[in-house]
Amino acid sequence: MKRKHLRLCLISLICFLLVPRVQAQAFAANLPPGTSKAIVFLLDASNSMNSNDREGLAKDSIAQLIYSLPSNYYVGFAAYNNSVVSSIGMQNSHDRELVMEAVDSVTYTGYTNAGAGLTTAMELLDTVDATEKTVVILSDGEIIMSSDKATAESSGLFQAAVETAQAQGVRIHVIGLGADMEDDDNTIFSAATQTNGINYHAPQSTDIQSVIDSILMEQLGVKKTRAAIVDTDGGTEDITVNIPSVNTSRTRILLTSGNPIQNLKADFSAVNGWQYSGTRYTLLELDHPMDTTVHITFQGQAGGQVKVDVISEYVLTTQLDVSYTDPEPGLPEAEYCERVADVAATFFDAGDSDRQMLADTVFQGLLVQVTADGDTIPCYLKDGAIIFQRTVEDDTKAAVQFDFTKLDTNLILEQPVFVELEGPPAPPKPRQEDYRPQIIVGSLILLAFIAILIIRLVSGRKKAKAIVPAAVAGSKSETQVEETSRYGYVGRLNIYITNTLSGHDFPPLTYNLFRIPGGKKLSLQEILDSCEVDEPFEGADKISFQPAAGHCLLLTNESDCTLMQNREILMKGRSYQISLNSKVDITFEDERSEIALQYRDVKPSDMRLLAGERH
């Protein structure tokens, strides 16, 4: 095991050379409480492993697992043959190297006492307080000891340990190596079945690497992105790895290969950096990187392949700010206002409370499911903040949980967070006064209003008859205009400018609505402006959109433009619900310019692709 440590201040350029040098890591993770997890790797070190893992690839794969884990993992290790031959207690992220030293010291010899091994693993896990505990066993065969009695004893111990794990909610994943583990029906594999874990089979030791990858990503939920796959030709390879953001708390770049990786050098800028190397892997760990690109050169073996993964990590604290709006209650006898709380969640670096995180453009518009007191609300990240609304009826303390699974990065933060919501105030009491003058004036105004209404209704009908011969009866979609909406935008608008005053041709335009946060009202003119259309469209500023229920779009027409949908004219002064995949044709007030708007859905998988585009 070779290791190197470098400490950097601000922007600096560093070259790594493979020099065996050991220094203490000076990293102090400010982990929020309640975010710790624990994992113990249990390795079968029996004699048979000599034939199944001749090249000692299992150890490299353990290193790959250990170093890929985010900082909130405690890692332990135990190896067994006749008895437990090597074990090391739970180490925090600073001291993972000690674990690897224990792993490296293991030699394959003797029988297979998995019972003793698993019992030790469970004891190790007992020493730490963690929200999630896992054991990963790598074994190439059944429990076998020198005598039947000893075998039975070990099996008994194994079963007892499995039951303890089951009771404590510890999940056991088993990697079966070699031909003897092809059959699922053996004692070791039964541990996974009983504890809700997963059984994996690696026919050869070279397959362990991909199994470890699956455990990391599918079982432990570690987010990795594959930055590159390099076909090596024996010469020096030169690659540039992009880190998603300069704001990460920690970024690990892991290079793995089936063949040795040599002479690795890296140029980067970060507060601190470390390098850990095995025969077939190299890990580059960057503390608070300051540049999004890392240049790496290394030498691989001819005909080999090197996979480069990036594991980035954010250690966060959550800040919740609440503001209230208290509209007057609808019923006069109501005792309290109908209070709506706008909760804004912002995230800061756990080590630096002034440094706001998740505000980079890569996170802009990404979906985060927020669960507040059991209600799930789909929200989108905007400028690093998540804003959602709660109706408050009483003083309450709400538990808020964020689901960041849609983000391709590892977030360590305390969950749930609690927010104190104050109950609504009482509405202002009306004074007991003589209301007669007001009643008279009010009645007069009401009479005048009714008269105006009747006149408008009559003239409006005439107009409607003239221009809407086939209007759909009872336009159920008509609603009153709202200034703000509690729904979020989804989908996108395809804009086809079919006719213009100038006669210019415009290419088809797309406006990604799903990137617009909250229920902000948007006018068509704003949309066209952001699409950089420098053509006058009279009345476009009086046509507006807002999100509505059921993924619909609420279109409000205050203009004299002619709007048509499904052969129906959309009247002035009214709002209409536009459902997904439908189309609205607009002829503007100049009676020449025309636009066709198409409101379409965007698949979650496409959001990332579209998010990178300009409007």
Partner 1 sequence: MKIISQTNRTLLLEEFNPEKLDLLTMIGDVRGIDSLSDDKIKEINEALLCRSYEEFQEKFAPCIYSFYDANTQTVRYTLKKPESIPENMLTVIPLNQQNDFLKMLFSLMESKKSQGVLNVDFGFEHLLDMISPKKVMEDIRQVRKEIRYNYSKYAALEEGDPARLDVGDKLNVLFESASDNYNNVLAMLPLAIEDIKTRLLLGAGDQGINPNQIALGMLTMGDNGELKVLEAPKQETTALATIDDHINTGLIETLEEDYQQVNECPTDYVKDLVVRTFCPLPSTIQTQIDVEREVANYNSYLQFYKEAKDGFIKVVKPLVEKMLGVKMFFDQYKCRVKGMVPTLLVANIRPEMLAKSTNLPTLHAYLNSTNGKNNFSDTVWYAIFPNVSINPKEGAKLRRERFAGNIHKQNEDVNSMETLATLLDVLKDYKVETFFSFEGRDDTTFDNVAAEGVQKYIDRCEPLVNRPYSEYAIPCIPNFTVIPKNKSGVTLDKLMTINDDNVAQLSDAKEDIMRLWIEGVYIGASYVAAGFRAACQCPDYLHDHYRRKKYDTELPGVRYDVESGDHALWTRTTMPKEITGFTNTIKDQINRRNFGWVFASENAALDGKNITEITIYKARNLLYDPERATYEPAYKTQVTTYIERILRHATGDFKEDRIKMFFSNNPTSQKSQWVAKQDCINAVLDEGDDLGYSIDETTGLCDLTIYYDGNARNLEVEINRLSSKKS
| Cβ 108 to partner 1 shortest distance, Å | 32
| Cβ 596 to partner 1 shortest distance, Å | 4
Of 72 and 477, CB closest to partner 1: 477
Of 125 and 212, CB closest to partner 1: 212
| Cβ 585 to partner 1 shortest distance, Å | 4
| Cβ 140 to partner 1 shortest distance, Å | 24
CA 223 to chain centroid, in Å, comes to 9
Instruction: Map tokens 């102090």 to a residue.
Output: 28
∠ Cα 320 325 328 (to 5°): 155
Angle between helices 57-68 and 96-104 (to 10 degrees): 170
Residues 6 or more apart from 585 whose CB is under 8 A from it? Answer: 563, 564, 565, 594, 595, 596, 597
Whether the CB-CB separation of 600 and 491 falls below 8 Å is answered with yes
Of 476 and 603, CB closest to partner 1: 603
| Cβ 566 to partner 1 shortest distance, Å | 6
> Of 432, 423, 375, 363, whose CA–CA distance to 395 is shortest?
423
Tokens of 499: 């006719």
| Cβ 153 to partner 1 shortest distance, Å | 40
Of 144 and 596, CB closest to partner 1: 596
Whether the CB-CB separation of 243 and 294 falls below 8 Å is answered with yes
Of 393 and 606, CB closest to partner 1: 606
Of 270 and 528, CB closest to partner 1: 528
| Cβ 508 to partner 1 shortest distance, Å | 5
Whether the CB-CB separation of 243 and 312 falls below 8 Å is answered with yes
Of 294 and 607, CB closest to partner 1: 607
The beta-strand segments (E) located in 23-149 are: 37-44, 73-80, 84-91, 132-139
Whether the CB-CB separation of 78 and 42 falls below 8 Å is answered with yes
Please report, as ranges, the residues that interact with partner 1 according to CB under 8 A. Answer: 226, 229, 231, 369, 376, 378, 496-499, 505-508, 510, 564-568, 581-583, 585, 587, 594, 596, 598, 600, 602-606, 609-610
Q: Which residues pair with 509 in a beta bridge?
A: 495
Helix (H) or strand (E) holding 164: helix 148-168
Whether the CB-CB separation of 18 and 80 falls below 8 Å is answered with no
Of 170 and 509, CB closest to partner 1: 509
| Cβ 496 to partner 1 shortest distance, Å | 5
